[in-house]
């Protein structure tokens, strides 16, 4: 058999040269990392020793089986469920202690560790594992559920490598960021992305502000650091938005400036001293601006003033707060952050618009009153063996103003939850306001008890107010 040369498509000499040049260029690109790649690798190598794994364990909870479908040994898919977990909606009994994994970072060389409140909440024991696999028992110095920040303390034999907190106010949208943590228990996992947005409010309360990033964040990243390209922590990874439960490029980190304030306060005495004005506020809509004679929809409109609060006798309904201590208040969400991070007892100056005229008013910042610090005694919501597993207290005007609950909303504030309770399993949190159970309003602890006693539907439909937003949850009644 012969092969004719005409049957072969041979490149011209110039084509060979071009292909060779292109191949050489591709090889050079592949073989030689860019300066940006080297800088990223150097950054990761430098900061990784400061990132830790948090292992939080809860005591075993005995959950009685409710029928043969809960007997894994005899269930036809019992072995499958043991190996891979039950499908969504399948009510699995919890046997043995529960263990959760999260991330954190070394705040200072003496062994202070930062993580998320929700990572260590209700934990009976907490272990911190360093990047070199050394492990230490940790104690909780203090936590702040309103910003989802917790400070732990370990006792290392030698000084640890600590991170540097950056200024989250100066980071710009579009800047490169690096997240390091332990998604699904895979320690020291590095993901990169950009700052997608700043100043995000994701209904976590009035005192938390978030950086949005498209760096991949998954289960287990909670509490880990978000770095800028200088190796500074500019956020603590806390939440994701995901229909599937995995990363879809919508991650949220508590800003480092809030973290700095909260951790300093917690290390001082384990408690948060948060400034308080005592006003209910709302945004200035274009319609309200026209009615008030304001050129722009800016500032925070005072809709109510709490009696005997720092603002009582100083601010009035209808005032528009334009600035606080020379910091602009562009909308109502700015003010709680500014006031909350102000030291109690500080003399402060507010610029307000009243009757079309700007005025400067002075007042002394008070101590915010949390729901758990109210004078009304908490009440365990339990009737005739029927229970949600929550402790509640009446919604006071102080708590209403602090949590952003509107005047038309009444209910009881959740001050505590049992870890294995129906309410906890349904996703209720401390600070939630229970507005309705079934068709009955729950304006007081007694009303909640009455609603529980008469509720015939299981699970029950419960309406709660969280950070000013109304949501329904289905709670099993036991």
Task: Tell me the pLDDT tens digit for each residue of 420-446.
Answer: 788 888 888 888 899 988 888 888 888
pLDDT of residue 296: 80
Residue 237 DSSP SS3: strand
- Take residue 101 and report the two structure tokens written for it: 């994994």
Q: Is the pLDDT of residue 6 over 70?
A: no
The overall average pLDDT reported for the chain is 80
Chain segment 70-120, per-residue pLDDT in tens: 455 554 445 444 444 555 455 555 555 677 899 999 999 999 999 999 999
CA distance linking residue 127 with residue 114, whole number of Å:
13
Say what the pLDDT of residue 225 is. 96
pLDDT, tens digit, for every residue of 288-306? 888 777 778 889 988 888 8
Q: Which residues contact 319 (CB under 8 A, 6 or more apart)?
A: 301, 302, 352, 353, 354
What are the catalytic residues?
118, 148, 222
Count Cβ atoms within 10 A of the Cβ of residue 239 and give its class: 0-12 exposed, 13-18 middle, 19 or more buried. buried
How far apart (Å, rounded) are the C-alpha atoms in residues 49 and 69? 46
The token duo for 402 is: 């602090």
User: Which of 231, 239, 162 shows the shortest CA–CA distance to 200?
Assistant: 239
Give the per-residue pLDDT at 467: 73
328 has a pLDDT exceeding 60: yes
The overall pTM is greater than 0.75: no
Max avg pLDDT among 272-276, 376-380, 396-400: 272-276
- For 312-322, the pLDDT digits (tens) are 999 998 899 99
pLDDT of residue 423: 84
pLDDT of residue 259: 96
pLDDT in tens, 338-382: 998 898 999 999 999 998 889 999 999 998 765 433 334 455 554
Which structural domains are found in the chain, ordered by start? 164-259 (2.40.10.10), 275-367 (2.30.42.10), 377-475 (2.30.42.10)
Stated as kind and residue range, the H or E segment containing 172 is none
**What three-state secondary structure class fits 270?**
coil
Q: What is the pLDDT of residues 126-173, one digit of tens each?
A: 999 999 999 999 999 999 988 999 999 999 999 999 999 999 999 999
Contacts of 163 (CB under 8 A, 6+ apart): 47, 50, 105, 106, 107, 225, 232, 233
When mean pLDDT is compared over 19-28, 93-102, 183-192, the highest value belongs to 183-192
Write out the two tokens for 197.
Answer: 């947005």
Q: How far apart are CA 269 and CA 157, in angstroms?
A: 24
DSSP state of 12: P
pLDDT level of residue 64 (50, 70, 90 thresholds): very low
Residue 139 backbone dihedrals phi, psi, to 5 degrees: -115, 150
pLDDT tens-digit profile of 27-37? Answer: 444 555 666 77
Per-residue confidence (pLDDT) for residue 410, from 0 to 100: 86
Report the percentage of the chain scoring pLDDT > 70.
77
Mean pLDDT in residue range 225-241: 93
For residues 83 and 123, which has the higher predicted lDDT (pLDDT)? 123
Q: Which of 23-37, 275-289, 452-466 has the lowest mean pLDDT?
A: 23-37
Kindly tell me if the per-residue pLDDT of 68 is higher than 50: no
For the residues 436-464, what does the mean pLDDT come to? 83
Choose the weakest-confidence range: 360-369, 382-391, 392-401, 409-418: 382-391
Instruction: State the virtual CA torsion across 68, 69, 72, 75 in degrees, nearest 10.
Output: 90
Q: What does the alpha-carbon distance between residue 249 and residue 264 come to, in Å, rounded to a whole number?
A: 31
């Amino acid at each position: 058999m012969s092969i004719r040369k005409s049957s072969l498509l041979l490149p011209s000499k110039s084509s060979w040269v071009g292909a060779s040049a292109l191949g050489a260029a591709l090889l050079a690109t592949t073989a030689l990392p860019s300066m940006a790649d080297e800088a990223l690798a150097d950054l990761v190598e430098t900061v990784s020793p400061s990132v830790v794994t948090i292992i939080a364990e809860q005591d075993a909870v005995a959950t009685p089986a409710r029928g043969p479908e809960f007997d894994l040994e005899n269930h036809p898919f019992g072995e499958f469920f043991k190996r891979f977990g039950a499908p969504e909606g399948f009510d699995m009994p919890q046997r043995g202690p529960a263990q959760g994994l999260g991330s954190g970072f070394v705040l200072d060389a003496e062994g202070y560790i930062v993580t998320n409140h929700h990572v260590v909440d209700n934990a009976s024991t907490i272990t911190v594992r360093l990047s070199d696999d050394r492990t230490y028992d940790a104690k909780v110095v203090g936590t702040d559920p309103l910003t989802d920040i917790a400070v732990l303390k370990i006792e290392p034999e030698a000084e640890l490598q600590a991170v540097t907190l950056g200024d989250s106010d100066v980071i710009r949208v579009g800047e490169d960021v690096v997240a390091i943590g332990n998604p699904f228990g895979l320690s020291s996992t590095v993901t990169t992305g950009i700052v997608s947005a700043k100043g995000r409010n994701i209904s976590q309360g009035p005192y938390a502000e978030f950086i949005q990033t498209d760096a991949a964040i998954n289960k287990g990243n909670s509490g880990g650091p978000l770095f800028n390209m200088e190796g500074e922590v500019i956020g603590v990874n806390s939440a994701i938005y995901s229909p599937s439960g995995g990363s879809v490029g919508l991650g949220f980190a508590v800003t480092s400036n809030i973290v700095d304030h909260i951790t300093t306060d917690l290390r001082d005495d384990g408690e948060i001293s948060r400034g308080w004005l005592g006003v209910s506020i709302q945004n200035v809509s274009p319609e309200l601006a026209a009615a008030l004679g304001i050129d722009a929809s800016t500032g925070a409109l005072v809709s109510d003033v709490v009696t005997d609060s720092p603002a009582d006798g100083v601010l009035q309904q209808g005032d528009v707060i334009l600035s606080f201590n020379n910091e602009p208040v562009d909308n109502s969400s700015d003010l709680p952050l500014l006031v909350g991070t102000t030291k109690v007892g500080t003399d402060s100056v507010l610029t307000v618009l009243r009757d079309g005229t700007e005025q400067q008013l002075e007042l002394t910042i008070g101590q915010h009153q949390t729901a758990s610090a109210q004078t009304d005694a908490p009440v365990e919501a339990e009737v005739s063996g029927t229970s949600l597993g929550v402790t509640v207290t009446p919604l006071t005007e102080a708590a209403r103003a602090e949590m952003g609950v509107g005047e038309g909303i009444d209910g009881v504030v959740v001050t505590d939850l049992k870890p294995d309770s129906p309410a906890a399993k349904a996703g209720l949190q401390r600070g939630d306001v229970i507005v309705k159970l079934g068709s009955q309003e729950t304006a007081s602890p007694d009303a909640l008890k009455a609603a529980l006693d008469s509720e015939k539907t299981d699970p029950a439909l419960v309406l709660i107010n969280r950070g000013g937003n109304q949501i329904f949850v289905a709670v099993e009644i036991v």
